[in-house]
Structure formats: C-alpha cells, structure tokens
Structure 1
Amino acid sequence: MTRVEVVGAGFNSAGRGDGVARAPQALRRAGLVAAVSARHDVEDAGDVAFGVPVPERGRSGLLAEEALASMVGGVRRRVAEILAGGGFPLLVGGDCPVLLGALAACRDVHGSAGLLFVDGHEDAWPPAVSTTGEAADCELGLALGVTATGVLPTGVLPGGVLAGGVLAEPGPLLRAEATALLGPRDGAELLAHGVASLRESLWFATDRDLTGRVAEKTADAVATVEGAAARWWLHVDLDVLATDQLAAVDYPQPGGLTWAELTEITATALRRPGCAGWSLAIYNPDLDEDGHEAARIVRYVEDALSCLGPRPQAPAGEGTGRP
C-alpha cells in the first residue's frame, strides 16, 4: 500500500492570509485525510511554514516576494523528505506557486522532473507584465525559465529573488519537452495583453481540444512527459473546472471541464508509476459558505487516489540529494 503524506501550503499570491490561504485547513475539516486513508496509509504532515506575506510588488514585479521564496523553500524541503523516504506527497495549496517547490524537490531527489500541468490558465505571464502581480499568474513560466523575451533576466528569477527557495543556481526547473499542459482557456486574454502563449512551445490541449477526447489526449500528454522524464509531477489547478462544476475560485472563466473529465485525467496520471507526487490548488473556501464545494473536492481526491499504485523508490545516490 502506498504511503500518502498530506502537506498543506496555505500561500496566497495576493499577499493576504485569507481566500486560498485557508484551503488546506478547510479541506481537512471536510474530511480529506480520512478520505485518503480509506485506501492508503496516510500521514497528515501538517502545513509548511513561511514568512508573513506583504502585498507589495518587489523588484521582480511579484507581490510578497520574500514570503514566496520562503514558502517555495519550505515546500521544497518537505516534499524532498517525503520523496526520499518513499512516500507520495499530496501537496494542498494555497495557490499555484506551491508547484515550484515541488518541482525543485522532485529534481533534487530524482535528478530531473517532468510536469503534467492541468489548469484553466497557462500561468506564464512575465512577472512585471502580470495585471495582478500574483505569482499564480507566472509559475509555469518561471519553472520553464521563460518571459516575454524568452529568457529570465540573470540574477532576477529564479536564481536571484527566489534563490533560497527555488534554485541554488540559475536555470529552469523544467524542460519544455518534459511538460504537457491540459485544459487552459485563457488564450484570448493573453492575446489582448500581448502575452505570448505557450501553445507552440510544448504539448498543449485546451478545454475544447479535450471535449470527447479526454482519454486519448491524456494518454498522449502522459506519454510525452514520460518520454522526457522518468519521474514527473502532477499539478491540478481547480479552476480548470467549469464554473457550474466549482464556483469557489477567484478567477472564473467561460468553458472548462466537468468533474468526470478531471477525475479521468487525474486517475490516468496517478496510475503511472512515474508520477512522483500531486499538487492541488486554487480552491477558495471564503466563496464556499456551506462547505459543499470542499466536500466535492474531497470526493474527487478520494476517487482519483483509488487508482494510485506502488511507487518506485529513488535509487541510492539518485539526484542531487539537496533539499
């Protein structure tokens, strides 16, 4: 039986302590840990501590830079410990930048990392151009090392501002060929703001591309990631769902997936032994007064994790071993 370790990272990229920052505790109250324990050994590993966020833009253009770096570093260390110990991390945000620490940890332990990225947005805005200043607009671009000019400025991100949290050395966390993006539907917004899409840079399928072809497209996406990375991470941003499926998100859009479609994508990924861990983000409990959305998320997690099988162990000496 696979040991699942639940880790909370209640970080809100807006630099506040409300909204998505409250998601890990709200999902625990809704029965998340008990639901996971129905089929797996489970440990609640608590929440990652990080600095107090300040809602001001720093020199990168992002809000709450210091807290962001602190959070990413904390996630990196905790997830690396779980991976090195043979566990399967279930990382519960907060919002999407928790992914940066998870990818860094996967690379630390396994030497490299791939990514199956399931999200309603591409999340590759150049930080200084982001209309919100939230790192949740930017984390995939940061991981890939791309900006509007194609390359991160030396010493700014991730090797400078986030050096203590993401990388001890400059360079991207991900290669485009080891990355697949499922479900984005913000192409018109990006075009309106002059932000380049990732569509031509990596494996990419919008919500419309997935209609009636979820199984086929997911299998193709997973094969693409596995072809470039032996171990890889699954990231799910719940705003990939249609608003009539989940309304408790900060930035709703037209279109989106159904719960059944998202469950199929997630279960397909979790069946693969190369999937090293899973992060879940963007649920805002402040928009879910009676908790019914939290209960639906917990049911989704339980259903998807029913497909999780044994994970291969990290061979001795694999990766850098640096959490």
Structure 2
Amino acid sequence: MTVIEVVGAGFNSAGRGDGVARAPGALRRAGLVAAVAARHDVRDSGDVAFGEAVPERGASGLLAERALAAMVGGVRRKVAAALAGGAVPLLVGGDCPVLLGALAACRDVHGAAGLLFVDGHEDAWPPAASTTGEAADCELGLALGVTAAASLPSGVVPGPAPLLRAEATALLGPRDGADLLEHRVASLRGSLWFATDRELAGRVAESVADAAATVERSAPRWWLHVDLDVLATGELAAVDYPQPGGLTWAELTELTALALRRPGCTGWSLTIYNPDLDPDGRQGARIVRYVGEALPSR
C-alpha cells in the first residue's frame, strides 16, 4: 500500500516569515493530512528547518541566500529519506525553490531527475535580472542550467549541475510570455516540452500523456511540481502574483490526477498559497479538497 509522506517547507523567497511561509501550517489546519489519509496511509514528517530568512539581496542577486541554501539542503535530505523508504513525498511549500531540493533528492535516489512543471510562470529569470530578487522567479532556469547567477551560494543548486536536462522536462500552463518579452528575458519555449494555459484547454488528458511520455524517455522517474498560480485568479486569489488567464480547478485536478497515476511519478510538490490573503480559510479548504480529489485511490 502506498504511503504518502507529507513534508513542509515554509520558505518565502521574499525573505519573510509571513505569506507563503505560513502555507504548510495553514493547510495542515485545513485538514490536509486527513484528506490524504482518506486515500492512503500517511505520515507527516514535519517541516524543514532553515533558519531566519533575511530580505537582503546577496551577490547572486537573490534575497535570503543563506536561508535558501539551507532550505534546499533540508528538503533534499527529507525527500531523499522518504523516497529511500518507499514513500511518495508530498512536499508542501512555501514557494517554488523547494523544488530544487526535491529534484536533488530524486537524483540522489533514482540516479536522474525528470520534471512535470505546472506553473503560471516559466520561472527562468536570471537572478540579477529578477525584478523581485526572489528565487521563485528563477528556480527552473537554475535547475536546467540555462540561467546563470554570479556567486550563487553553495547548495542552492546541488551539484553536479545541471539538476535537470531539457529533454526530461515538461512545462505546462505558463502565461507570462508577454512579461518575459517586455523585460527581454528568454523564454524556455522551443527548448523543452511546453504548453501554455490556452494550449491545455480542452486537451488536458492528451497533453499530460504526451508530456509525461516525453519526460519518461529520458528520466523514467520524475517529479510533479504544481504552483497554484497556474489557476485563474477567479479560481484561487490567495497568490502573490495574479495574472490574466489560467486553469480551472477542474482542469488542474484532472491534470494532477493523471500525472500522479503515471508509474514514473515519484513525488509531488505544491506551492504558492498565501494564507494571509485568505482570512476565512475557504481557499485553503479548496486546496485540501483538490489534493484529496487528485490523489489516486488506494
């Protein structure tokens, strides 16, 4: 029987202890562990410790560099232990740089990492060009080695680099192409499997099957990453950087369920819920419902 291991990583790339940093605790209080237990055996291994995140840009151009490196290392250890023990990790952020630790763990245990990346943004800004200084702008580009950062602290991208190969990566749901063009940041389109939110509409099942099969040709074991800002703002408003367009809950649930049923999927990360923007907790409860609906039955 599958054991789901819940791992919290309440890291906020803005170098703050509020906002998305509070998501793991908020989702647990909303019933996340119970929702998983209704489908599978579950254990909660608690939260990754990484020290205080300081909102100062370092030499790389990123905020909170020291805490970022510590968080990546902590996620790597917890996720690797879960995988080595035969569990399926459910990594709950925080924001998207938690993915770097998960990919390193996947590579540690399986020898290589693949990725289905579901996000409203491409997340491949060069750190020095990021308008926010947040590592959440950059993590996919850093993992692929397509964006460079001077003086990046050791451990932010665990070596040997790159963590990912383009042919083992699929990007589903981005809709920030106009913003990238405005700031002269190169898009990943054309270098890996890629489908915008509009291109997924009406083709979720076909797209997931094609994306996963593409990844599996290069990396039989792969990670699923879901940034909840892939949803339309009308579906989920408790995110820091809303934008036009996006998926419906039904589309995201279908996409996630299909991905989790693939035998190559080794773990799942869920990020970018800001409970400070959800004072009555309704959106947190909706996220918990989504997790329960997406998980396969026992």
- Relative to the length of structure 2, the TM-score reads 0.98
Q: For 1:1-323, list aligned pairs within 5 A.
A: 1-147=1-147, 152=148, 156-157=151-152, 161=153, 163-167=154-158, 169-307=159-297
SS at structure 1 position matched to 2:105:
helix
Deviation string 1:19-57 (CA, Å, 9 cap, x unpaired) is 000000000000000010011100011000002111000
Aligned AA (1:143): A
Q: Which moved more, 1:172-181 or 1:221-230?
A: 221-230
How far apart, CA to CA, are the structure 2 residues paired with 1:29 and 1:46?
13
Aligned AA (2:177): G
How far apart, CA to CA, are the structure 1 residues paired with 2:262 and 2:191?
24
CA RMSD, 1 decimal:
1.1
SS at structure 2 position matched to 1:36:
helix
How far apart, CA to CA, are the structure 1 residues paired with 2:87 and 2:204?
29
Q: How far 1:214 sits from its partner (Å)?
A: 1.1
Q: Which runs of 5+ in 1 are unaligned?
A: 310-323
Q: Which runs of 5+ in 2 are unaligned?
A: none
CA contact (8 A) 2:171 2:195 kept: yes
How far apart, CA to CA, are the structure 2 residues paired with 1:306 and 1:164?
34
Q: How far 1:9 sits from its partner (Å)?
A: 0.2
CA contact (8 A) 1:76 1:165 kept: no
SS at structure 2 position matched to 1:236:
strand
How far apart, CA to CA, are the structure 2 residues paired with 1:88 and 1:199?
30
Aligned AA (2:262): R
Q: How far 1:58 sits from its partner (Å)?
A: 0.5
Q: How far 1:227 sits from its partner (Å)?
A: 1.1
Q: How far 1:164 sits from its partner (Å)?
A: 3.1
CA contact (8 A) 1:74 1:165 kept: no
Q: How far 1:217 sits from its partner (Å)?
A: 1.1
SS at structure 1 position matched to 2:217:
helix
Aligned AA (1:58): G
Q: How far 1:165 sits from its partner (Å)?
A: 4.6
How far apart, CA to CA, are the structure 2 residues paired with 1:263 and 1:228?
26
Q: Identity percentage over the alignment?
A: 82
SS at structure 1 position matched to 2:163:
coil
Deviation string 1:88-109 (CA, Å, 9 cap, x unpaired) is 0000000000000000000001
How far apart, CA to CA, are the structure 2 residues paired with 1:293 and 1:54?
28
How far apart, CA to CA, are the structure 2 residues paired with 1:236 and 1:119?
6
CA contact (8 A) 2:222 2:267 kept: yes
Q: How far 1:170 sits from its partner (Å)?
A: 4.3
How far apart, CA to CA, are the structure 1 residues paired with 2:6 and 2:157?
21
SS at structure 2 position matched to 1:223:
helix
- Relative to the length of structure 1, the TM-score reads 0.91
**Stretches of 4+ moved more than 6 A in 1?**
none
Distance change in 2, residues 1:106/1:77 (3 Å): same
Q: How many residues align?
A: 298
CA contact (8 A) 2:33 2:44 kept: yes
Q: How far 1:83 sits from its partner (Å)?
A: 0.3
CA contact (8 A) 2:143 2:157 kept: no
How far apart, CA to CA, are the structure 1 residues paired with 2:151 and 2:264?
32
